[in-house]
Structure 1
């Protein structure tokens, strides 16, 4: 009698599909890890982060930009993982997927506040920005109610992935480590941040590889056309965004 192994050989959901979901799983975790590593040497709390931006604006902008891009790009991958869990455990998949996606939304909101804080540094200097942020830190916003989802969603998703045999026990445990990633506004990185980001890479990147390889490859002309379309759309969106 053969022992079943974790597998991606399940029917593909219409959304996000194999290519978008696989690309999300491949790109999102490394971007988060890169963002963590770039800010690791600076202090953790917002005064240290604002001073770090004043002294190293390019480095800190890259760190926060890469990390926020990674969280956003993980959305299709989370949807794909939840769909595969749902093939066996629908209830866990729904709650795990919903909570994790809400957590990604919350981190995107935090990224917007981070950006505003750094713009204050550019306009007024780190000392003035620190006073302003300190006076308003902790102000209520509806997204603050999602803090539990930021952490708990990954744990529930990891539990469902293990039960549904989408991930093996070790990789499911690595996915659950994402719950250890610090949350909030203008937060630096710690050893736990590195562990959490590395856990995402260990759990999701191999799943992304298996997903992309799990079906026929498109013809070269089709692939080139799609890449050109994505590139053109990206440039157009960038220019439209810069136009305000």
Structure 2
């Protein structure tokens, strides 16, 4: 019996494409996530950056501000499969930057999701008590410690490490790697408005990641129309059920 290198290498450890999150899920994440973040950031561009102005803006334009913060929050959450896919691509050549960059970036996305929850609560205070009362409450509690404060370095540093790894692994060229690193400039914390750095960071995500997502969808065999239709139907049904369940509480 002839023993080859392929025989000794477990197939599950060296797939041509990561099974999880998968080429299509990860690719869709790389396209949709950055675009949502950029759109949400631009929607609140007209308002001052600091939280009193953000709360006042919500009182005056609740639908606009709700849309802005919801799009940004959804974009951060939906980015995690794309980050996992990008880290897997980097790991094919450079393991350490892939592991550390991927882990820290995902932890940073968790922290931003927590911040989005605080934003939501603050806006509900505006609805119930008015902007002045909500602003007073926010100012008195703004510096309160929470466990996700420990992830502030991950929020900023994860993108830089991932960008360095993507450049070293030749997944991204120098310009797009720099654009990805710009994501670290996105202001962190709660009730943050839009600055020039916010736009640069969100645009950098789009420049770096959207082409990767499109490329991921174009590689590999195309699924059958029946498979696509079935998956779209399943996602629609499950998504509707999750929305209804969420409304119940």
User: Does 1:183 pair with 2:181?
Assistant: no
User: Does 1:36 pair with 2:41?
Assistant: yes
Q: 1:86 aligns with which of 88, 91, 94?
A: 91
Distance 2:227 2:99 in 1: 34
Distance 1:34 1:138 in 2: 28
Distance 1:216 1:56 in 2: 46
User: Does 1:99 pair with 2:109?
Assistant: no
Q: CA deviation at 1:14?
A: 1.2
The corresponding residue for 1:137 is 142
Distance 1:188 1:148 in 2: 20
User: Does 1:236 pair with 2:241?
Assistant: yes
User: Does 1:55 pair with 2:60?
Assistant: yes
Q: 2:124 aligns with which of 108, 112, 119?
A: 119
Distance 1:138 1:80 in 2: 35
Q: Deviations over 1:66-123 (max 9, x none)?
A: 0000000000000000001000100110000000000000000000000000000000
The corresponding residue for 1:7 is none
Determine helix, strand or coil for the equivalent of 1:71. Answer: helix
Task: Please report the RMSD computed on the Cα atoms of aligned residues, expressed in angstroms.
Answer: 0.7
Q: Deviations over 1:122-143 (max 9, x none)?
A: 0000000000111100100010
Structure 1 gaps of 5+ residues are: 1-9
The corresponding residue for 1:211 is 216
Aligned length: 235
Distance 1:134 1:212 in 2: 46
| TM-score after normalising by structure 2 | 0.94
Q: CA deviation at 1:11?
A: 1.9
Q: 2:167 aligns with which of 162, 166, 188?
A: 162
Distance 1:66 1:182 in 2: 16
Determine helix, strand or coil for the equivalent of 1:41. Answer: coil
Structure 2 gaps of 5+ residues are: 1-14
Distance 1:138 1:113 in 2: 13
**Large movers: runs of 4+ above 4 Å:** none
Determine helix, strand or coil for the equivalent of 2:171. Answer: coil
Decide which structure has the larger Cα Rg and report it: 2
User: Does 1:26 pair with 2:31?
Assistant: yes
